[in-house]
Amino acid sequence: MAAPLQGSVALVTGASRGLGAAVAVELAQRGAQVVATARTQGGLEETDDAIRAVGGQATLLPLDLQDDAAIDAIGPSVYQRFGRLDVLVHCAAVLGRLTPVAHVVPTDWAEVMAVNTTSALRLIRCCDPLLRNAEAGRAVFVTSNRARVPRAYWVLYGASKAAMQYLVLTWAEEVATTQLRVNLFDPGIMRTRLRADAFPGEDPAGLRPPKEVAPEVVDLCMPSEARHGDNVRFSRAG
């Protein structure tokens, strides 16, 4: 029996660690050819090793999401190499400085918005034609409860994720009559570096590892998935 994503091509951002790496491995297990992007070459190579260990294949693409020209080139590069793109999963994000709104430094604002919001826009722009052309194009953008529930000092992360959510859900409205399905996914609390940076005194041993969450992200990438324009929360999120 063929793997459900056999023959498909999936682009995953933030694939060097955390949820992005776990999603990349899960996609490979289900048969997808994975294009894994992240800033860290070493982390990407570790993800590649994990993908090979489950019998999958990956193409590694070191990429800084603040490099607009590099993001814009992803779509054409994937098309030139594979002739198609079936799945986009955008996991990459930065926390930014936790600070009062009145003390936000404009350069910090610009950096977090570039990675968490503008990169999503540029990914949509360059991947939209390929995903629309796919038989069952699927796009998933990882979000956070902080996008809708404000918390003191979290303005950079929360505002950038809220803007990203509006962007993605607007795109979902615009492609509603196509075969493309676009959703948000909120993984809840996980054992990630971003979580450790936000809560340095927290014991990570009690937190859910990303590999437990990844299957539900990849479920949204299945050709049989009908949900569209939803903000899907991990089923066991606390």
Active-site residues, by number, are 157
Cα of first residue to Cα of last residue in the chain, in angstroms, is 36
CA distances (Å), 72 to each of 121, 128, 131, 225, in order?
10, 12, 15, 28
The dihedral built from the CA positions of residue 48, 54, 58 and 61, taken in this order, carries a sign that is negative
Beta-carbon contacts of 106 under 8 Å, excluding residues fewer than 6 positions away, are: none
Return the residue matching tokens 């800084």.
64
H helix or E strand, kind and range, residue 12? strand 9-13
- Tokens representing 56 are 């999958």
Beta-carbon contacts of 142 under 8 Å, excluding residues fewer than 6 positions away, are: 19, 89, 90, 91, 93, 184, 185, 186, 187, 217
